[in-house]
Amino acid sequence: MTTPIETTGHKRAMPDPSDKRAAIMRAAGDAVGSEALAKALGMSSRNLYKKMAGDGQVSDNLLQDVREVLERRRHAIGLVITGIRDELAK
């Protein structure tokens, strides 16, 4: 059960829509799972969520690391898809 914002007094900050780096981080988290992305990047989930919310700096190096994580995942998914396709073709 969730507690309404009115009773908690806490409101989640909405990221600035023009912050493209934060948007990229959110999309990457959606693509592979936020917890898995944080683990692959060697950072805490809390720190990753801050970057997704636009509260933290997203450096060029971090973007490059995210890209590498996504490329590894894409390759692994491609291998699984090929395996499934081959198995079903039998």
Which pLDDT score is estimated for 22?
92
**pLDDT of 18:** 65
Predicted pLDDT at 32: 92
How does pLDDT run across 36-75, given as a tens digit for each residue? 999 999 999 999 999 999 888 899 999 999 999 999 999 9
pTM for the full predicted model: 0.72
Q: pLDDT tens-digit profile of 5-47?
A: 444 454 555 556 668 999 999 999 999 999 999 999 999 999 9
Sign of CA pseudo-dihedral 37, 48, 29, 61: negative
Task: Please name the amino acid found at residue 68.
Answer: E
Please state the separation of Cα 40 from the chain's center in Å. Answer: 10
Q: CA nearest 29: which of 78, 58, 66? A: 66
DSSP string, 19-53: -HHHHHHHHHHHHH-HHHHHHHHT--HHHHHHHHH
